[in-house]
A = this chain, B = another copy of it.
């Protein structure tokens, strides 16, 4: 790959000399030109066309670039450009096109099936652009009143659209906030729970606190617990089993909590997941809450991926009993068209959050509460915040709840179609029943055939299959998982641009590569 044509690469490295005195005498209108409305308009239209062209041409890119570590950094100059060159913006866009785009993994490709989606939409992307342009910092109500109030409105709107219980909405005494990531949501809830508990048992007992999850819970949870000062060995990852579709067992949770209580420890927090990363397993929230309640443990529901599906009434059942949960979060940037980043968290008792994360005197908080508004800096870890509510509001306003349902259902239908294709080919098996839009599948264990070695060989075979599937530059990009010792391929349908033909083509590639691998191994199926 050719290095980008940065004029400054020819800079001899000599730092420009400045004369403080002269600088002070220079005219003072320079700054304004950095945000000149007409220059913004001209360059902005270039950027919009650039993005539109990118979307139109996404099918041309391999989803995942075949590059080696260092391919880009070793080709960029070591020093930043010393000064502005003429027409530099156009040249920079050209660099993005020729140097940066070819080295990206294209999450918006219709053939991206590897990760849960980071779904783009016209409205989501432009909502981000609009918020970036307006560029306010709504950390308190006063620091941008409309931004705070819009956030309060849209979290209730979204909560209703997702069929969340009223107790989690402002309308029902709870409330929500828009953060960047689930990591932040979990950490915020955990710190609120921790401080509420320590206020009762004493701050010196932090070392006795225990948190719970399943072995399918995203690693973000144990990481959050470590950040919050929970001892590493006090994060209980309770084993799950294929027979239970890898859901967390209330019986096992009860046993684990009791063991800890018997050992003089204090159950603090349970992270239940709706739609785990590996297989979209659904933990039984209601039953788990019933187990946690006698221990006074906080229950957080992490629906990072599958939360978006709750917009469809047919999925309401997966959160049965969520009324008893203390907090709930989902990533609207994953499957709800609200471009990265956008995690929405709701809590049943905002006062617990504010007690842990608030930075004001009690009377100021009461004052804000009396006025019916909030200072969102006290609801999360960060003071600086982006105007994410604008994007969420635009997505809901423009697509409507029905539009979001159609979006989710289209992916669910496509995943169902893919699942059907897998089932129709006797060489393959579906590892766990599809629930949302992820299909976990693999070539069947070849132990009944000439190839021997059992599960280990089956894993090796499927590892090779994934490698070859992903090596096809115009083919799909999938990922893998390993549950209960079983290595499997993951086909996550969710890119906004994915259509049924992409799914069919992806399956053809999988079949073709499987045939070729099995043939090479002289396995006649």
Contacts and interface: CB of A to CB of B under 8 A. Distances in A.
Interface stretch (A202-210, A293-301, A448-456): A202-210
A520 interface: no
A53 interface: yes
Interface stretch (A66-74, A247-255, A345-353, A427-435): A66-74
A167 to B, nearest CB: 16
A260 interface: no
A401 interface: yes
A487 interface: no
A310 interface: no
A497 interface: yes
A129 interface: yes
Given A137-B118, A496-B32, A76 B153 contact: yes
A468 B263 CA distance: 63
Contacts of A41: 48-49, 52
A232 interface: yes
A97 to B, nearest CB: 11
Contact of A180 (B121, B191, B207, B384): B384
Nearest to A218: B383
A424 interface: no
Contacts of A229: 194, 206, 228-230
Contact of A384 (B37, B147, B158, B333): B333
Main SS of chain A's interface residues? helix
Contacts of A220: 383
Contacts of A261: none
A228 B38 CA distance: 47
A188 to B, nearest CB: 9
A244 interface: no
A112 to B, nearest CB: 10
Given A70-B372, A153-B73, A382-B180, A397 B133 contact: no
A383 to B, nearest CB: 5
Interface residues of A, number: 176
A72 B149 contact: yes
A126 to B, nearest CB: 5
A82 B402 contact: yes
Given A145-B103, A410-B30, A499-B31, A85 B135 contact: no
Interface in A1-41: 6, 8, 15-16, 18, 20, 23-24, 26, 28-32, 34-41
B373 A70 contact: yes
Contacts of A394: 92
Contacts of A76: 150, 153
A152 interface: yes
A69 B157 CA distance: 19
A183 B51 contact: no
Given A145-B105, A228-B227, A499 B28 contact: yes
A16 B143 contact: no
Contacts of A50: 130, 133
Contact of A88 (B31, B85, B102, B398): B398
Contacts of A320: none
A201 B70 CA distance: 38
A65 interface: yes
Given A118-B136, A129-B129, A401-B82, A44 B35 contact: no
A210 B266 CA distance: 25
B126 A28 contact: no
Given A34-B337, A51-B129, 16 more contacts: A6-B397, A18-B312, A20-B314, A40-B48, A40-B52, A44-B129, A72-B149, A76-B150, A80-B400, A84-B399, A92-B394, A104-B144, A107-B144, A203-B231, A227-B227, A228-B228
12 contacts: A18-B312, A24-B413, A31-B410, A32-B497, A54-B133, A78-B171, A82-B401, A82-B402, A83-B402, A100-B146, A132-B339, A203-B231
Question: Which 7 pairs from chain A and chain B are nearest by CB?
Answer: A229-B229, A103-B146, A128-B132, A44-B48, A51-B133, A129-B129, A69-B371
